[in-house]
Structure 1
């Protein structure tokens, strides 16, 4: 009996040892798999961080455009609103540019049509129901206009601050970029009038961001090559032209 009890005790000990070994093996494999997954995540994050993005962008395109309703419109999150805005801009451009319609003429024609429809509807309603219809009153709320004016004021002040920083002469590279951009805009403005230019900007805002979001990686790789070439040419220009400008004498005169 004693021997049987000893044998049973040994078998239970061996079973417990086997179970503990399996648990330890499972824990070690799970920990190794967790460490492998962490290593893969860190490697993916490092690779993602090394990817070149236009203008040093680290956020999604939707966040860059503000992340609100304007971003939804530009990126076609709501296709009905985006198509409506683009269709309205196209209709305005066709009316005033292709058909050579004038704003005052259009406003007068719209008012004539509206007043005629309301006048006829009021008389028909009086003839049928023997009572005058109630035409709703139209009031323009004050708060949206104040919000738009405040937003425009902030944007204009931001532009003035940037122009002041550029004019202070601290960053020659930024000065050259802004001057060249304004020169290109002046050339484009001489090709077409303000309405056509505004319509082109609207079309670009409704096409370029959504296409860039779709083909983001390909565009960024091409942009990286272009920026490397631009930096190379700027370095040559700096070595041959800008470095030869007598800055010390200019500073002495200012002092």
Structure 2
């Protein structure tokens, strides 16, 4: 009972191939993903290779290989390249559109609460979030930021899966402290906003 976990991190990540990758269930695939992302980051960030040139060269090499394979197959009576059916199904497009619609509606709802409803809590959260993104963006470029995201995605879920209980305890303590500080700041901001007194209301 003492070692039981609140929920499965594997299921929280979808329970599929992506969850297996992030939780290192199949360590060869996770290691290949880590090595590949590190190689691409080094190639573009340190070696100064251009993304457009890299994509063009890879596609050119792929086309040449497939062309030579097809020609040699017709001459030597060998099987053609095993290419899958490269088309996007209508179901996939509908699912992607539904997911995009949920995110867009959520963003528009937050924008409405901030701009029209004048929600101070949402305004503070959005302002702090944008400031953090701006500050982090001044320290790293987009490619390095994306690479850091890859590293975190391969380390944070598996660490949380192995040490969920102590991490939850520390997060609860940090959340309580942050909530107290947020209330103090919120009260400080509200105290500086002039509000009409009861006498003024009676005169009106």
TM bracket, shorter-chain basis: 0.7 to 0.9
List per-residue Cα deviations over 1:149-193 (Å, max 9, x = no partner): 443343333333333334444642332122112101111112222
Distance 1:206 1:248, change over 3 A: farther
Distance 1:92 1:164, change over 3 A: farther
* Matched ranges for 1:107-146 at <5 A: 107-118=55-66, 129=76, 134-135=80-81, 139-143=85-89, 146=93
Counterpart pick for 1:244 among 165, 177, 192 = 192
Matched, 1:201 2:138: no
Q: Which has the larger radius of gyration?
A: 1
Question: Over the residues paired in the alignment, what is the CA RMSD in angstroms?
Answer: 3.5
* Matched ranges for 1:156-235 at <5 A: 156-169=104-117, 171-235=119-183
Q: Does 101-110 or 181-190 show the bigger shift?
A: 101-110
Distance 1:231 1:115 in 2: 57
Quote how far apart the aligned CAs of 1:196 are: 1.3
Distance 1:145 1:196 in 2: 30
* Matched ranges for 1:14-33 at <5 A: none
Distance 1:181 1:113, change over 3 A: same
SS of residue matched to 2:122: helix
The aligned counterpart of 1:94 is: 42
SS of residue matched to 1:241: helix
Counterpart pick for 2:102 among 154, 157, 170 = 154
**Larger fraction in helix:** 1
Counterpart pick for 2:28 among 80, 87, 94 = 80
Structure 2: gaps of 5 or more residues: none
Q: Does 204-213 or 218-227 show the bigger shift?
A: 218-227
The aligned counterpart of 1:70 is: 18
Distance 1:167 1:210 in 2: 39
Quote how far apart the aligned CAs of 1:225 are: 2.4
In 1, are the aligned partners of 2:69 and 2:80 still within 8 Å (CA)?
A: no
Question: TM-score, normalised on structure 2?
Answer: 0.73
